Amino acid sequence: METRRKSIMVFTLAGLALAVALALIISPWASSSPDGLEKVAEDKGFLEKAEETEPAWESAPIPDYAMPGLTKEAVDEETGEVVEEPTRLATALAGLVGTVGIFLIAWGLALVLKRRRPAEAPVESGPAME
């Protein structure tokens, strides 16, 4: 069983490396167009309902997938005003923190749940897997 467990770890870490690469390298170049629901809301005239509503949770540490503090000046296409917008690095770091963070949270949650296994439940394998 030892080699098999190792190989699952190799698989998992390779998969995590791929996920981190996607978040770190590709996400800064992702499309910034509105997604399906946002576009429908825009076209059908109900996007204001969200814009006029105070968010119920305002303590998100990395709002809108952009690491705070990393901004650059850019010209707003509609108004022509100079605005601050997040840099690609801000998005890449948000992706890195989020991907590694959720990996650790999910692993921790799974370990806690697994440990709560009822004591009387039969253990599937016979002899101890050493």
Partner 1 sequence: MHIPDGFLNTGVSVVTGVAAAGAIGYGLYKAREELDERSVPMLALCAAFIFAAQMLNFPIAGGTSGHFLGGALAAVLLGPWLGGLVIALVLLVQCLGFADGGLTALGANVFNMALIGTILIYYVFHGIKLLLPKSRSAFLAATGVTAWLSVFLASGACAVELAISGTSPLSVALPAMLGIHALIGIVEGAITVLVVGVVLAVRPDLVRTYDYRPVAAGLGEAEVSG
Q: Which residues bind partner 1 (CB under 8 A)?
A: 5, 7-9, 11-12, 15-16, 18-20, 22-23, 26-27, 30-37, 39-41, 43-44, 46, 49-65, 91, 94-95, 98-107, 109-111, 113-114, 116-118, 121
Please say which residue, 26 or 75, places its beta carbon nearer to partner 1.
26
Q: 23: burial class by Cβ within 10 Å (0-12, 13-18, 19+)?
A: buried
Please say which residue, 12 or 76, places its beta carbon nearer to partner 1.
12
30's enclosing H/E stretch is none
Q: In whole angstroms, what is the distance from residue 28 CA to residue 15 CA?
A: 20
CB of 28 to partner 1, least distance (A): 9
CB of 25 to partner 1, least distance (A): 10
Token look-up 């439940």 returns: 121
Residue 74, strand partner residues: 83
* Residue 7 Cα to chain centre, angstroms: 26
Please say which residue, 60 or 89, places its beta carbon nearer to partner 1.
60
